[in-house]
Amino acid sequence: MNTSFTPLMSLTAVALDIEATGLDAATARVIEVSAIRLDGQEVNSSKTFHQFINPGVPIPERASLVHGLTARDLRGAPAFAHVTEALDAFVGSSVVIGHNIGYDLAVIDHEFRRLDRSWKIPACLDVRVLARLVAPNLAGYSLETLCDWLGVDILRRHRAFPDALAAAQVFVRLVPLLRDAGVRTLAEAEAASSNLPGEERLHRVAGWISPDRTIASGNRPAAAMVETYPFRHRVRDAVRHSPVFVQPSEAVERMAELILEPSAGGVLVVRSDKKETRLITQSDLLRVMSMPAAERPRAIAGMKLAPCSRVTDDDFLYRALARMQRLGTDYLCVENRRGEIVGVLSAADLLSHRATAALALGDEIESAESVAELGRAWARLPSVVESLLREMVNPEDVAGIISAEIRALTARAAHIAEARMVKEGRGPAPVPYAVLVLGSAGRGDSLMNADQDNAYVYSAGEPDGPEDHWFAAAGAYLTGVLHEVGIRYCEGGVMASSPSCRLSTGNWKEAIAGWIGNPGPEAALASDIFFDGVPVHGDFALAGEVMDFAYGRAAGAPQFIASLAAMARQWQPPVKLFGRLQVDGDGRLDLKRNGLLPITTLARALALKHGIRARSTISRLTEVKARGLAEAELMDKGIAGFRALMKAVLDQQIADSRAGVPISSRVEIAPKGVRQKAALVEAIKATGSLIAATYER
């Protein structure tokens, strides 16, 4: 199902074209209709619809001169009334794409009206209008001109199937150009199309279906209804038993003793040198013990046991629920960020929290096999975020969910990148490695407009060496996939494709020592978000080694920490005289730059100074408070202010997403009531007070 948030590259769409008896949409009758399905960025020529139609009226000669169709060609063809059901079924809820598609839809709409039948006008995108957005100075926008410009071969002009196929191929080539122009989603394309000068008048005068009308036809699902418990709690909150390990050489008879121990929770974890983890459940025990003695394996190694999928203890429960549902399993192994098994999560532990359609969010990303599938999975997130905000879930938990999905996307992108490298004959990774997500997604503070911050850590190799060359190519794929899906490239270049963000463990340690040994503004800007890093793919222990080194070095470097904190100290609250907020020319205020970022910077510096390994801003501040390192009341106000600012940004981002406005951290101030404005002022002031009071601590 398409939503307002679906990336253009992931749309479920149909390219459509008709031939008719004339150019007047109100009186023209359909004589030929063709449609071709698009699955993401693939034109599926095997899924097509084509039908000649008897219009029931003579075909004007001037129309036949254009498309070449005469009454003889339509002999035996059905009337439009006999085609509606099949056409409706083929189009379904797809977005309809075409060239001057407003004309085609208007003619079809009038056909339905003549039959006195209702027809829900589908959402549509016109490739002519989209081309105007990305190439405003093109000599013309006919279908022939667009095909010539974009290198699309058109088989035969003014026949339904060739024109529909050409429109589909033009759309596919326009998508990356639109993405580069800041038009990524269906809602953004619709909004940009309807706002283009001259289009509304053209559609109105010609009697075509306008983009505004298709948006207003209600082709968008409401925000998903979700059970919020799994979005509020982590896997660690539900695990009730520590793992009980057994060796593959252990005797089968010994299993019965161990598995019935209360601490085991009815399941044993089989240790193995392989990466795969296997579990023994009570069902496995019963199956083996019911076998004839002569056929029964003596040791666990002889049992047929399926591998057990894993989640981390820091994952939200919705991800574990979705994975259980997809895999049809009752158990998941729980690991920490070092890849160590720390528990087993069972369906019984979660009996009261069933997986629903909304909960499939997390595992859709984990199981996606293509970039288009990743895009569709990512597009589900905004409606879930909207529902969680409506259900008053804490904004930091919502940000944590967004961050978890970005981390999952990055892990999947790394998997796709490695698969591409193998497919191209470059082989798998030459050495063990890990992918780190840095910045807000690493911390768990991401909002909807996050860009990429990621890095490679690999076990051995030098810059410009063979290992580096492999990771450079894989990094380009990884970051490219994320950019296509909607996690845009980092303007500062903090990405795994950049030489400074793909290093061996030894070179990372050298870089970290350089930052800390030469403190100052440049070192602070180069290093700050690295201390938010978390591994998401590959060898977690390798990443942990580098992160431990970084935290250990920073803890004993007060000058370096002071240089980090100085970035927060330099911030000036955007509050004018009489408590008025200082907005930009659009009446908006960037609450990330003017509130969230300064307190995030302060929290990071305090965490490094006092050896706090918590990652999110609020958890860092909470730990500072718990250790008595700041006045409790001041800290509570700072945390409450951070929540308020985060909530304001998330609310604005959802509103902008639905309106087709590119999302940012800029919040409209004028529409807010007196109390809302006062609350924002208080939140910003609390941030300033906290920074001033804790700067030297």
Which whole number is the average pLDDT over 564-589?
89
Q: What is the CATH number of domain 229-364?
A: 3.10.580.10
Instruction: Look at 33-42, 45-54, 379-388, 495-504 and tell me which has the smallest mean pLDDT.
Output: 379-388
DSSP tag of 532? G
Non-local (6+) Cβ contacts of 358 within 8 A are 224, 225, 226, 227, 380, 384, 387
pLDDT band with cut points at 50, 70 and 90 for residue 330: confident
* Predicted confidence (pLDDT) per residue in 416-445, tens digit: 999 999 999 999 999 999 999 999 999 999
Beta bridge partners of 39: 12, 42
357 pLDDT more than 50: no
214 pLDDT more than 70: no
Q: What is the CATH number of domain 8-216?
A: 3.30.420.10
255 pLDDT more than 80: no
Instruction: Look at 109-113, 130-134, 169-173, 225-229 and tell me which has the smallest mean pLDDT.
Output: 225-229
Which whole number is the average pLDDT over 243-259?
79
Q: How many CA atoms lie within 13 A of 315 on its CB side?
A: 28
Categorise residue 94: left if φ over 0, alpha if ψ from -120 to 50, beta otherwise. Answer: beta
pLDDT band with cut points at 50, 70 and 90 for residue 589: very high
- 3-class DSSP assignment, residue 682: helix
* Predicted confidence (pLDDT) per residue in 454-494, tens digit: 999 999 999 999 999 999 999 999 999 999 998 999 999 99
Instruction: Name the average pLDDT for the chain.
Output: 88
Domain boundaries, the chain: 8-216, 229-364, 556-697
pLDDT band with cut points at 50, 70 and 90 for residue 360: very low
Cross-sheet strand order for the sheet of 267-270: 245-246, 267-270, 278-281
> Which pLDDT belongs to residue 354?
47
pLDDT band with cut points at 50, 70 and 90 for residue 356: very low
Residue 56 C-alpha from the chain's centroid: 50
Would you say 170 and 144 are in contact if contact means Cβ atoms under 8 Å apart?
Answer: no
What is the phi/psi pair of residue 401, to 5°? Answer: -70, -45
Would you say 226 and 384 are in contact if contact means Cβ atoms under 8 Å apart?
Answer: yes
- 3-class DSSP assignment, residue 229: helix
pLDDT band with cut points at 50, 70 and 90 for residue 242: confident
> Which pLDDT belongs to residue 20?
92
pLDDT band with cut points at 50, 70 and 90 for residue 658: confident
Is the whole-model pTM more than 0.75? yes
pLDDT band with cut points at 50, 70 and 90 for residue 34: very high
Which whole number is the average pLDDT over 401-420?
95
Share of the chain above pLDDT 90, in %: 57
